[in-house]
Amino acid sequence: MTSRITADDVVHVARLARLSLTDDEVTTFTDQLAAVLDHAADVEALSIDDVPPMIHPWPLRNVMRPDEVGATLDRDEVLAHAPATEEGQFRVPAILGDEP
Amino acid sequence: MTDWVGRSAADIAAAVRSGEVTARSVVDEHLAVIDAGDGPINAFNLVTADAARQSADAVDATIAAGGDPGPLAGVPVALKDNLCTRGIPTTCSSRILEGWRPPYDATVVQLLASAGAVSVGKTNLDEFAMGSSTENSAFGPTRNPRDPSRVPGGSSGGSAAAVAAGFTPVALGSDTGGSIRQPAALCGVVGLKPTYGLVSRYGLVAFASSLDQIGPFSATVADAALMLGVIAGHDPADSTSIPEPVPSYTESLSAGVAGLRVGVVRELTGEGIAPDVAARVNAAVAALSAAGAEVTEVSVPAVTYGLSAYYLIAPAEASSNLARYDGVRFGLRVDAPTTDAMMTATRTAGFGAEVKRRIMLGTYALSTGYYDAYYGKAQRVRTLIARDFAAAYDTVDVLVSPTSPTTAFAFGAKADPLSMYLNDVCTIPSNLAGHPAISVPFGTGDDAMPVGVQLMAPALAETTLLSAAAVLEAASGVAS
């Protein structure tokens, strides 16, 4: 059994998911997520290590297609609805360092 | 002039094909009803009246030239706003996608258009299809046409309400844990979740990819069969789509249930089900029996773990799928000095509370130290559920349960997330197994609100499911 989720855990997963939470939100989400995880204790308590996991309704196989050039999305149409573009590419703020 | 509002899709298509009425006239009637009635209901995020009239004119031109527009000729349809429509805003009822216009159509959107259907707009949903009441929309809730003080269910509440209000005879939704069947039940219409992989998900904005499936809403079972026949089939653009030929769903509709083995699921008909809902399910079972079905009670023990497994698996998949909303390629961007800060600011401003809750829950369930205890365990439970269903289907052809434990509830009645999640207890097992299931209206509860009865069947048994549903539909008007 694991312990119920803590406020520190919520802050950590929010950071991993690129979400910023207020202190009030941390408190609320911690309580709500703990309630859901408490409900999942029925699943957690099962001894079913011998049961194989089911990741998908059907057995998944690689799906191959002929390596032929086909139609793709129009670049200008795709870029037209991006927040910022430059020279036919997506533009983002600085990636390295804390300052632009 | 509403001669064609309230008529079935099958009737409309037949009349348009025969020249009895023009597609333009049909769509104009429906647009007028939407314009007059959707203000208080809020089924639609967007009504595409001009495009609808153009599509209808094209259908009429095809007929004038001696051609056949297809089996849905001139039928107005509403599309859940998580289905991509080229050049037409597709929001998922989220601020993070507000204003985005997809550069392509979902496969189902293309198939409907190719069959002569006329899309009239995009319907409201719980943000990214996460919810059971359509209260989580960034654009305000949809109200239940049967009683506007109550929710329509969700997440496809807009599509269910559109059909229930007569705005369109048919609509499309998506169902990850009950998001077609539950709102269909609460609004008193038919809602079908097909077998996983029967309908292409290409162009459906992903929530939980191993569970999501597109399906129809309709006023009649026959229209559900008609719609399924148009949208089903293999699609090379969806690698999970089943490469099998599609049978005729309309031809077998009148097969009846004589000799059909029907199992009432013990675990989904007792504790937690409201007495008035249980009474309607009992009446439905009696109707199937009276029509010649062999009814027994069967046990599917593992379904009792379905809710817990689902609320680990679906958020886990969602946390991965929704990583793409980062302010780079589409939708909202909140500016910040660095890309990392921009992504955090964008996602924090763009997502609503329920979406954040599920992203965090999924991230937690997948994180180091908890993966085996939560996500891994939930996947093993999924195997148990599939095994228990398989054992049940050794002895019966169709399973029966309520669609939802209660009739439609009031706005704000389930503010606690876990109490909202409990609405999905009867619908989730079919998603986990990948099986088809349908909700059929069968009378009303003590509050005069609709009750839906759920029929479930093994993978690709839609013909059996629909013919059993047709029997229930025929009996629903006489049994009480």
Q: Which of A45-49, B38-42, B202-206 has the lowest mean pLDDT?
A: A45-49
Whether residue A15 is contained in a domain is answered as yes
| Residue in the block written with tokens 């946390």 | B319
Strand partners, B277: none
B333 and A83 in contact by Cβ < 8 A?
yes
Q: What does the pLDDT read at residue A100? A: 47
Q: What is the pLDDT of residue A3?
A: 58
Q: Give contacts of A55 with chain B, Cβ < 8 Å.
A: 210, 379
- Chosen for mutation from A12, A18, A73 (greatest number of chain B CBs closer than 10 Å) is A18
Residue B280 has pLDDT above 90, yes or no: yes
CB contact under 8 A, B370 and A57: no
Instruction: Decide if pLDDT at B186 tops 60.
Output: yes
Assess whether pLDDT exceeds 90 at residue B432: yes
The domain that holds B157 is classified in CATH as 3.90.1300.10
Q: Percent of chain B, pLDDT > 90? A: 96
Provide the pLDDT for residue B1.
55
CA A20 – CA A44 distance, rounded (Å):
29
Nearest to B142 by CA among B163, B130, B156, B128: B156
Distance CA B287, CA B186 (A): 21
> Residues B389-426: pLDDT tens digits?
999 999 999 999 999 999 999 999 999 999 999 999 99
Residues 6+ apart with CB under 8 A from B289: B262, B295
Contact A100 B312 (CB under 8 A): no
- Is 60 exceeded by the pLDDT of residue B480? no
Average pLDDT over residues A3-15: 92
Decide if A66 is inside a domain. no
The pair of three-digit structure tokens given for residue B86, joined into one six-digit string: 């080229």
Alpha helices in A1-100 (DSSP H): 7-16, 23-39, 41-44, 75-79
For the stretch B283-333, pLDDT in tens is 999 999 999 999 999 999 999 999 999 999 999 999 999 999 999 999 999
Told to judge if B137 belongs to the known catalytic residues of this protein, a careful annotator would answer: no
Measured between its terminal Cα atoms, the distance across chain A in Å is: 45
The answer to whether position A91 is within a domain reads no
Taking Cα atoms as reference points, which of A35, A17, A9 lies closest to residue B417?
Answer: A35
Catalytic residue among B55, B133, B137, B155: B155
SS3 for B453? strand
Respond yes or no: is residue B401 known to be catalytic: no
Q: Report the gap between the CA of A8 and the closest CA in chain B (Å).
A: 12
User: Tokens standing for B433?
Assistant: 């197994």
Torsions phi, psi for B328 (to 5 deg): -100, -50
The pLDDT score that the predictor gives to residue B425 is 96
Q: Does B75 score more than 50 pLDDT?
A: yes
Let me know: does B38 contact B158? Beta carbons within 8 Å: no
- Domain span at residue B190 reads 9-231
* pLDDT on residue B6: 97
Percent of chain B topping pLDDT 70: 99
Q: Is B335 helix (H, G, I), strand (E, B) or coil?
A: coil
Going by C-alpha positions, the residue among B65, B9, B13, B94 that lies closest to residue B318 is B94
CATH number of the CATH domain containing A18: 1.10.20
Separation of alpha carbons B284 and B290, rounded Å? 10
Chain B residues with CB under 8 Å of A19 CB are 344, 347-348, 351, 356, 359-360
The backbone torsions φ and ψ at residue A94, rounded to the nearest 5 degrees and listed phi first, read: -55, 140
Catalytic residue among B55, B80, B159, B467: B80
A23 assigned to some structural domain: yes
Residue of chain B whose alpha carbon sits nearest to that of A97 = B338
Instruction: Establish if B79 belongs to a structural domain.
Output: yes
Domain assignment present for residue A34? The answer is yes
DSSP tag of B352: -
The residue ranking higher by pLDDT, B262 or A57, is B262
Find the radius of gyration of the CA atoms of chain B.
21
Burial letters A28-60, b for 16+ CB under 10 A, else e = ebbebbbbbbeebeebbebebeebeebeebeee
Q: How many domains does chain B have?
A: 1
Give B420→chain A minimum CA distance, Å: 11
Average pLDDT score over residue span B465-471 = 98
Answer positive or negative: Cα dihedral of B272, B277, B282, B285: negative
pLDDT at B269 over 90: yes
Separation between Cα atoms, residue B283 and residue B441, nearest integer Å? 12
Query: Around Cβ B429, how many Cβ atoms within 10 Å?
Result: 33
C-alpha A8/C-alpha A5 separation (Å) is: 8
Residue B277 has pLDDT above 70, yes or no: yes
Q: What is the mean pLDDT of residues A17-42?
A: 95
In a domain, A64, yes or no: no
Pick from A21, A43, A83: CB nearest B378: A43
Contact list in B for residue A41 (CB cut-off 8 A) is 308
Contact B378 A90 (CB under 8 A): no
Backbone angles phi, psi at B217, to 5 degrees: -110, 145
Asked if residue A27 is part of any domain, the answer here is: yes
Q: Are B208 and B176 in contact (CB under 8 A)?
A: yes
Kindly identify which residue of chain B lies nearest to residue A47, measuring between CA atoms: B377
CA distances for A69 relative to A21, A72, B202, B403, angstroms: 46, 9, 20, 46
Please give the Cα distance from B357 to B98 (Å, whole number).
20
Number of domains present in the structure of chain A: 1
- Between the alpha carbon of residue B70 and those of residues A50, B25, B111, B226, the distances in Å are 51, 18, 10, 11
Mutate to test the interface with B, among A54, A92, A98 (most CBs of B within 10 A): A54
Residue B464 lies in a domain: no
Residues 6 or more apart from B158 whose CB is under 8 A from it? B42, B43, B44, B45, B78, B80, B81, B123, B124, B125, B134, B142, B152
Question: Please, which pLDDT band fits residue B370 given cuts at 50, 70 and 90?
Answer: confident
List Cβ neighbours of B75 (8 Å cut-off, separation of 6 or more). Answer: B9, B12, B13, B16, B26, B116, B117, B118, B169, B170
Neighbours of B340 (CB within 10 A): 16
Whether B361 sits inside 8 A of A2 (CB atoms) is no
CA R_g for chain A: 23
Closest residue, chain A, to B334 (C-alpha) = A83
Question: Is A83 contained in some domain?
Answer: no
User: What DSSP string describes B144-169?
Assistant: BTTBTTB---SSSHHHHHHHHTTS-S
Residue B173 pLDDT > 50, yes or no?
A: yes
- Single-letter amino acid code for the residue at B154: G
Q: Do B104 and A10 touch (CB under 8 A)?
A: no
B79-132 per-position pLDDT tens digit: 999 999 999 999 999 999 988 999 999 999 999 999 999 999 999 999 999 999
Q: Say if residue B439 is preceded by a cis peptide, omega within 30 of 0.
A: no
Predicted pLDDT at B99: 81
Q: What are the chain B neighbours of A9 within 8 Å (beta carbons)?
A: 364
List of chain B residues whose C-beta atoms are within 8 Å of the C-beta of residue A66: none
Distances (CA, A) of B439 to A36, B262, B327, B352, B436: 27, 15, 38, 29, 11
Per the annotation, the verdict on B414 as an active-site residue is no
* Boundaries of domain holding A8: 1-49
**Cβ–Cβ of A20/B416 closer than 8 Å?**
no
CA distance B125 to B157: 6
Mean pLDDT on A26-45: 93
What is the structure's pLDDT at A56?
85
Contacts of B378 in chain A (CB under 8 A): 40, 43
| Averaged confidence pLDDT in chain B | 96
For residue B304, give the amino acid letter: T
Position of tokens 């333009």?
A: B24
Sorted by sequence, the CB contacts under 8 Å of residue B454 that are 6+ apart come out as: B181, B185, B400, B401, B402, B403, B426, B427, B437, B438, B439
